[in-house]
């Protein structure tokens, strides 16, 4: 009887251990599949990122979610000021930044960039009755830019800090231009087209481009694992035409 009881107890222990082992295995698998990436952006930059009601929409928003699907991760969006994007990534509070961000040598000192996913042009917008006809006419003028953007960097370098008016949102710059406080705004061409289309009688876009740029995703320096995954996903959606489909949805 004792031998039989001992045998039964041994079997129960073995079953219990196997059961516990299976539960632990399932938990690990669940954690591996439930990955989340935090993307920081500045949702004041249509058509790349902006809010429609309470929802985040735009090229970068849709592309980030598609990339998340490709690498098996859920993307959570953190909306912050543009000039806080790189510090947020370097501090580890966000996994990557995607906000129509141009690749520059200065930014490369703090973050690593993925492959380019979109090219853009910085353009000049002036009031519809302005005498400004080219970039050369901007000398001595008051120029509006979104703080921390390449428009800010370029204009400060070209025309001096005293001639640059910085705004947290570029739409505020357009309003300042409309009221006569500033003479022009320098901004991404698609953003310019988006804003001007809503009030075409007040503004005009100069024919001459201010600068050509490449947009990419910024990740924390040294995070090669994430960088490689993002690059692979970007290359894939470029080749498949999925990226172009998203861009065409917002840019006709």
Rg (the chain; Cα; Å)? 25
Structure tokens at 251: 């840019």
Domains for the chain: give ranges and CATH numbers: 36-117+216-250 (3.40.190.10), 120-212 (3.40.190.10)
Distance, CA of 151 to chain centre: 16
> CA-based diameter of the chain, in Å?
106
Contact 23, 29 (CB under 8 A): no
Q: How far apart are CA 239 and CA 243, in angstroms?
A: 8
Structure tokens at 171: 């739409």
Q: ∠ CA 129-170-177 to the nearest 5 degrees?
A: 25
Which element (helix H / strand E) includes 174?
Answer: helix 170-178
**What is the reported pTM?**
0.78
Q: How far apart are CA 36 and CA 68, in angstroms?
A: 9
**What is the dihedral sign for C-alpha 190, 194, 195, 199?**
positive
Per-residue confidence of the chain (252 residues) as pLDDT tens digits?
Answer: 433 334 443 434 433 433 333 333 332 223 344 489 999 999 999 999 999 999 999 999 999 999 999 999 999 999 999 999 999 999 999 999 999 999 999 999 999 999 999 999 999 999 999 999 999 999 999 999 999 999 999 999 999 999 999 999 999 999 999 999 999 999 999 999 999 999 999 999 999 999 999 999 999 999 999 999 999 999 999 999 999 999 999 987
């Amino acid at each position: 009887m004792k031998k039989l009881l001992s045998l039964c107890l041994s079997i129960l222990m073995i079953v219990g251990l196997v059961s516990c082992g299976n539960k632990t295995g399932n938990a690990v698998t669940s954690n591996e599949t439930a990955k989340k990436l935090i993307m920081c952006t500045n949702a004041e930059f249509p058509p790349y990122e902006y809010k429609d009601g309470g929802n985040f929409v735009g090229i970068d928003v849709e592309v980030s979610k598609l990339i998340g699907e490709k690498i098996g991760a859920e993307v959570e969006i953190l909306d912050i000021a543009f000039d806080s994007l790189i510090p947020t990534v370097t501090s580890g509070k966000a996994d990557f930044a995607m906000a129509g961000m141009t690749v520059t040598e200065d930014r490369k000192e703090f973050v690593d960039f993925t492959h380019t996913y979109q090219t853009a042009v910085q353009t000049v917008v002036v009031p519809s009755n302005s005498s400004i006809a080219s970039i050369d006419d901007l000398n001595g003028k008051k120029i509006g830019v979104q703080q921390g953007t390449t428009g800010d960097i370029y204009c400060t370098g070209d025309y001096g800090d005293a001639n640059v008016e910085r705004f947290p949102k570029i739409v505020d710059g357009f309003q300042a231009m409309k009221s006569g406080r500033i003479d022009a705004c320098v901004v991404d061409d698609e953003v310019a087209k988006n804003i001007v289309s809503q009030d075409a009688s007040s503004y005009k876009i100069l024919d001459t481009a201010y600068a050509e740029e490449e947009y990419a995703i910024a990740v924390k320096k040294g995070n090669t694992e994430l960088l490689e995954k993002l690059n692979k996903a970007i290359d894939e959606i470029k080749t498949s035409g999925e990226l172009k489909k998203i861009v065409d949805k917002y840019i006709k």
